[in-house]
Structure 1
Amino acid sequence: MRVVMKFGGTSVGSADAIRHVARIVADSHREHEVVVVVSAMNAPDLRTTDTLIAAAKAAAAGNGEATGEVAPRLLDLHLRAAAELASPEECAALEPELRAMLAYLSNLSHSIAVLGELTPRALDLFSGLGERLNARLIAAALRSAGLAAEAVDATRLIVTDEHYGSASPLMDETRATSRAVLEPMLAQKIVPVVTGFIGATKAGVPTTLGRGGSDYTCGILGAVLEAKEVWFWKEVDGVLTANPKVVPEARTLPRLSYNEMGEMAYYGANVLHPKTVRPLVQAKIPIRIRNTFNPAHPGTIINGADMPGTARAVTAINDASLITVGGPGMLGLTGVAARIFGAVARVGANTLLITQASSEQSVCLAVPRAEAAAAVTALRAELAGDLSSHNVEHVEVLDQVVIIAVVGSGMRGTPGIAGRVFGALGNVGINIIAIAQGSTENNISLVVAASDGDAAVRAIHHSFDL
């Protein structure tokens, strides 16, 4: 069967890690058509993408030598790994190619320093270089291990709009270009090693896909190539029922539905972001999350089927703040909710949770703690007239709270779930500050004090015997 698999930064962060990757790809290639998507190297002392972005910003501030100063370190990182993984012939061919790419960016740094401006388009060139370097290194390692492999820049495959820094794929064009490039390679049993995170406009200008971009690359290619499954290789055995640092007895979930994945990702679990795998969800292609360093473990499979049982997992968002807008004059005050959320959106604050009593006398919303001050300022400005007339009495903020989410598609229509959650917290003396539940019943969310967050997760996890 055809499999698209993605290896993240930690999975390709060292020569030893890439050696694991090579074994996994070789084993998979015996049975399947394999397309590999890779991130940039994330060594403990040198995070490639972060280093390149910092150099680009330093150039904009006037240091035209910024990239030239870090280029030798980046070159050394990749060539040292190559020396452990690849044949002398492969290393000899790889070095000038990597040097040329780094030299190009060094020259670009000088131009940016002269202009004193770093455009989003130029920043995308810097941001995507790590993947291009690493794809060539890993392809060389695979060839040295006896596999036919070829590095492929996703600028040849993924056609995007011109929204630099967070581009969106044009799927029809991407389907045509990806199949034209990759399917002949697969027919010849060549393993394409594709750069994650990057694409290009119709005019061929490089772009990046934004947060989670390498996962997004994998999702896009899995969909357009009509893969039977898509595998995301990480450093965990799959999706866990809770954070094991908080709940040591947390276990790997063998299966999740797409809906459960989305709920858990939103609320802080180490799960794929819904945006990055949307093409796979739409195409109903199964997703597996597996461990690069424990490949014998089956991991977690994610597909469209709702799972039996009730709650499946407990996740948490830390460092949140709860803002309450309230007053008796809000009863029947037309449009006040729209004004509240509009004010918060205008300052770029991300609303994590919303709850409103049926009396309409208060609206609560949770936002990341770092965004709370700006949100409160915007709300007080928007509602200044209502505050002076006492239609709105207060805009208050609780600074340190945790949002707990209890997730499970099997909770839908099952009586007593909320009672078990609230009872579990009551038994250990934890006060619930706010509660929210969507009509899908896949998720019960509640807000507790930051000091109670870990205990709340443990109590709920134990109550449902997860």
Structure 2
Amino acid sequence: MKVYKFGGASVKSAEAFRNIAHIIKTFGGDKQLLLVVSAMGKTTNALEHIFDLAHKGEPFDKEYQQCLAYHREVVEELFASESNPVHERLEHLFLQLQQSLQTVPSGASYDKFYDQVVSFGELFSSTILHYFLTNQSLQNTWIDSRKYINTDTSWREGRVDWNWTERTIKRDLPEILQNQLIVTQGFLGGTNNGFTTTLGREGSDFSAAIFAYCLDAEAMYIWKDVEGLLNADPKYFTDTIRYPEISYQETVEMAYYGASVIHPKTIKPLANKLIPLYVKSFLNPAAEGTKICNCRFEVLAPAYIIKENQCLISFSVKDFTFISEKNLGTIFNALSELRLKINLMQNSAISFSICTDYNQERLHRLIQTLNDQFVIHYNTGLRLFTVKNYDNNSINKLSADKEILLEQRTRTTFQLVCR
């Protein structure tokens, strides 16, 4: 039994859906395969923008219609028959989305209603894929992942109830997989009282790992637009190297520092059951790709990781005393409450600095919370560069011609924050 995860780029067009059908027929077979799909193309970004408008009470119909037209166009190209039920189902989902947007309460919790709205992207794409594969004589069952991945109410980063989730998945899905494929959504979970949660941005990888873990899968495959797990993002570096094989531990650390190929939470459930993860190219599916497994290497090529849109925040005590453990505890508690993840931290005698993903609302609330105790300065619009398994050449390559605001190195990792 295998799990395939297809990201947004692999379902961005009608041709992309046809390519998925080809991959499944060529490599996946007609049963014992569960497919996890992300929202199409940049749909999640579009839905985030639409929700922002609705939450502010501003008009959103133009953007809503653009999103609807994009999905309609793909469906019309894939399905020759206007009587195919996919048309009615897609229209019904968009009507539900519109109703959700129109009923966002004034002053409502942003994160809670974000999850109820932005989650529609995966419902759209998985519905289209279900009907298209059926049209291609690939029998499959569409399931709602919100009924199987149970989480708490940590909106936008739901914490999985593993016992409930594993029990429910094992109860229902193996029998279906004996005879056909399963199509479901990435990114989504559900609460006990019927609300939708999301598992964190780019969380479809994690969804696939949850299903793989609970089904004791033989392997999990992530289909990307790159040849495998690379040591750098080809958008920024021209001389990238593919890792043919790499360990769970190395991959977890790369994901933690911001490597975009794998979601940070994906690896642990796979490693716990020694389920190998293959990163493959949907553009060249016969290529070798990368195998992530329980292995070890003495020397690895340096990995270059870039996190955009960073914020550097510095705290100093107002009476110019030293930064104490009590001060740090106060800061950490505030960061935890606001769910601001520290990507890098550094302290001196009278200041403590962190680098975090920039979120205007959460930064404002952090300053409000701590302003009476600390002098707080911050810079936005920054980049965080990380080199795993660095050497002198890699440091020189990364540092050249940059205005560096903060620099830090350990035995295996070099990081710098710059404009």
TM-score by length of 2: 0.82
Corresponding letter in the other structure for 2:416: V
Separation in structure 2 between the aligned mates of residue 295 and residue 154 of structure 1, nearest angstrom: 26
Q: What pairs with 1:194-209 in structure 2 (closer than 5 Å)?
A: 194-209=184-199
Over 3 Å counting, the alpha-carbon distance change for 1:97 and 1:304 in structure 2 is same
Give the match for residue 464 of structure 1: none
Q: Residue 196 of structure 1 contacts residue 214 of structure 1 at CA under 8 Å; is this kept in 2? A: yes
| Aligned mate of 1:435, from 384, 396, 408 | 408
| Aligned mate of 1:159, from 150, 155, 158 | 150
Q: Residue 166 of structure 2 contacts residue 214 of structure 2 at CA under 8 Å; is this kept in 1? A: yes
Query: 2:132 matched to 1:141?
Result: yes
Larger Rg belongs to:
1
Q: Residue 401 of structure 1 contacts residue 447 of structure 1 at CA under 8 Å; is this kept in 2? A: no
Q: How many residues align?
A: 415
Q: Deviations over 1:220-244 (max 9, x none)?
A: 1011011111111111112212233
Corresponding letter in the other structure for 1:22: A
Q: How many percent identity over aligned positions? A: 25
Give the match for residue 23 of structure 2: 24
| Aligned mate of 1:278, from 268, 272, 275 | 268
Q: Deviations over 1:339-375 (max 9, x none)?
A: 5655666776543223457xx5765544457779867
Over 3 Å counting, the alpha-carbon distance change for 1:92 and 1:343 in structure 2 is closer
Over 3 Å counting, the alpha-carbon distance change for 1:308 and 1:136 in structure 2 is same
Q: Residue 8 of structure 1 contacts residue 38 of structure 1 at CA under 8 Å; is this kept in 2? A: yes
Separation in structure 1 between the aligned mates of residue 138 and residue 339 of structure 2, nearest angstrom: 48
* SS of match in other structure, 1:6: strand
Q: What pairs with 1:226-237 in structure 2 (closer than 5 Å)?
A: 226-237=216-227
Query: 2:289 matched to 1:299?
Result: yes
Separation in structure 2 between the aligned mates of residue 349 and residue 300 of structure 1, nearest angstrom: 32
Deviation at 1:323, TM superposition (A): 4.2
Deviation at 1:16, TM superposition (A): 0.9
Query: 2:217 matched to 1:218?
Result: no
Corresponding letter in the other structure for 2:147: R
Over 3 Å counting, the alpha-carbon distance change for 1:27 and 1:435 in structure 2 is same
Q: Deviations over 1:307-331 (max 9, x none)?
A: 231554232345554748699x867
Separation in structure 2 between the aligned mates of residue 448 and residue 73 of structure 1, nearest angstrom: 37
Q: Residue 344 of structure 1 contacts residue 378 of structure 1 at CA under 8 Å; is this kept in 2? A: no
| Aligned mate of 1:98, from 84, 90, 95 | 90
* SS of match in other structure, 2:16: helix
Over 3 Å counting, the alpha-carbon distance change for 1:434 and 1:95 in structure 2 is closer
Query: 2:81 matched to 1:88?
Result: yes
Separation in structure 2 between the aligned mates of residue 376 and residue 78 of structure 1, nearest angstrom: 41
Separation in structure 1 between the aligned mates of residue 313 and residue 91 of structure 2, nearest angstrom: 50
Q: Deviations over 1:83-140 (max 9, x none)?
A: 3334527x52111122222223334444x16x53545554433222221122121112
Q: Residue 354 of structure 1 contacts residue 436 of structure 1 at CA under 8 Å; is this kept in 2? A: no
Over 3 Å counting, the alpha-carbon distance change for 1:75 and 1:247 in structure 2 is closer
Separation in structure 1 between the aligned mates of residue 99 and residue 351 of structure 2, nearest angstrom: 57
Over 3 Å counting, the alpha-carbon distance change for 1:97 and 1:421 in structure 2 is closer
Q: Residue 39 of structure 1 contacts residue 131 of structure 1 at CA under 8 Å; is this kept in 2? A: yes
* SS of match in other structure, 1:272: coil
| Aligned mate of 1:249, from 225, 239, 251 | 239
Q: Residue 203 of structure 2 contacts residue 263 of structure 2 at CA under 8 Å; is this kept in 1? A: no
| Aligned mate of 1:316, from 306, 309, 313 | 306
Corresponding letter in the other structure for 1:92: N
| Aligned mate of 2:70, from 66, 73, 77 | 77
Which deviates the most, 398-407 or 228-237? 398-407
Separation in structure 1 between the aligned mates of residue 231 and residue 12 of structure 2, nearest angstrom: 27
Separation in structure 2 between the aligned mates of residue 427 and residue 108 of structure 1, nearest angstrom: 49
Separation in structure 2 between the aligned mates of residue 378 and residue 60 of structure 1, nearest angstrom: 24
Over 3 Å counting, the alpha-carbon distance change for 1:169 and 1:402 in structure 2 is closer
Which deviates the most, 205-214 or 422-431? 422-431
Corresponding letter in the other structure for 1:128: S
Give the match for residue 414 of structure 2: 445
Separation in structure 1 between the aligned mates of residue 116 and residue 402 of structure 2, nearest angstrom: 53
Separation in structure 2 between the aligned mates of residue 426 and residue 117 of structure 1, nearest angstrom: 45
Give the match for residue 453 of structure 1: none
Q: Residue 6 of structure 2 contacts residue 223 of structure 2 at CA under 8 Å; is this kept in 1? A: yes
Separation in structure 2 between the aligned mates of residue 160 and residue 370 of structure 1, nearest angstrom: 24
Q: Name the one with the larger helix percent.
A: 1
What is the RMSD of the two structures over their aligned residues, measured on CA atoms? 3.9
Separation in structure 2 between the aligned mates of residue 87 and residue 449 of structure 1, nearest angstrom: 52
Q: What pairs with 1:33-432 in structure 2 (closer than 5 Å)?
A: 33-42=32-41, 47-62=42-57, 66=60, 73-86=66-79, 88=81, 92-110=84-102, 112=103, 115-119=105-109, 120-188=111-179, 190-318=180-308, 319=310, 321=312, 323=314, 335-338=326-329, 341=332, 349-355=340-346, 365-368=354-357, 381-383=372-374, 403-408=384-389
Deviation at 1:218, TM superposition (A): 0.7
Deviation at 1:279, TM superposition (A): 2.0
* SS of match in other structure, 1:41: coil
Separation in structure 2 between the aligned mates of residue 206 and residue 62 of structure 1, nearest angstrom: 22
Give the match for residue 412 of structure 1: none
Q: Residue 169 of structure 2 contacts residue 211 of structure 2 at CA under 8 Å; is this kept in 1? A: yes
Q: Residue 330 of structure 1 contacts residue 336 of structure 1 at CA under 8 Å; is this kept in 2? A: no
Over 3 Å counting, the alpha-carbon distance change for 1:286 and 1:330 in structure 2 is farther
* SS of match in other structure, 1:352: strand
Over 3 Å counting, the alpha-carbon distance change for 1:338 and 1:18 in structure 2 is same
Q: Deviations over 1:46-74 (max 9, x none)?
A: x43344444444444556x856x666554
Corresponding letter in the other structure for 2:11: V
